[in-house]
Structure 1
């Protein structure tokens, strides 16, 4: 289930993209699964249909879903759309953003590492059958 957080700095369409991407990466949505219609998801999340359409467009451009004429959007096998250099750059940018967000919260390095490892372990566990 995708959660929309009104106080989140990310736009709503990005929250939808991130939520669906997480569901795909954890195996909650499997290759071949059909996404809800734009109208259906907008009603479910109580957001504007244009917002969902924008999120779906982003998912198409990321190569996570494909459109089947008259049938809707379906999850496809994720493709690596970035070069290794671009992937490394994006990871570094995400880490820098993360560090900037947590720097003043008072956690020590071990606490942060443990929390990250715990989250990654849970994601890995969700993906396994």
Structure 2
């Protein structure tokens, strides 16, 4: 896991986001064991307390569960990945719309740009 940390967002939140992205991309699956907190801290070069906070928050979000003596595992929930994917899509859409309106595009202009973009994307993807 390589994270290019963004100074505008707490590191523990960025770690959680990265794990969610790995789940959505299929790099992690429900039931997979996460590295120990110490190993994760060494791997991504952050303070172990930051990893502890990320793991604790992921437990609160019911993304992971810790099994005493065995480690921390991605929760076995088939719907979780789909819900995370939908949440990420909503957030990306909101950020996109926020930026487009901030630079002065109307709703109709945004719709036209997206339609044209989808057509171009489909054509490029087929080639």
Give the structure-1-normalised TM-score: 0.64
Structure 1: any 5+ residue segments left out of the alignment?
82-86, 119-129
Structure 2: any 5+ residue segments left out of the alignment?
81-85, 123-127
How far has the Cα of 1:28 moved from its partner?
Answer: 0.8
- Count the aligned residue pairs: 108
Give the distance between the partners of 1:5 and 1:111, measured in 2 at CA: 33
Superposition RMSD in Å? 3.5
Matched position secondary structure for 1:66:
strand
- Of structures 1 and 2, the one scoring higher in RCO (CA 8 A, sep 6+) is 1
Query: What does 1:1-129 align with in structure 2 at a 5 Å threshold?
Result: 1-7=1-7, 9-78=8-77, 91=90, 95-102=93-100, 103-104=102-103, 109-110=113-114, 114=118
- Name the structure with the higher helix share: 2
Runs of 4+ in 1 over 6 A off after TM superposition: none
Give the distance between the partners of 1:79 and 1:53, measured in 2 at CA: 25
Give the structure-2-normalised TM-score: 0.65
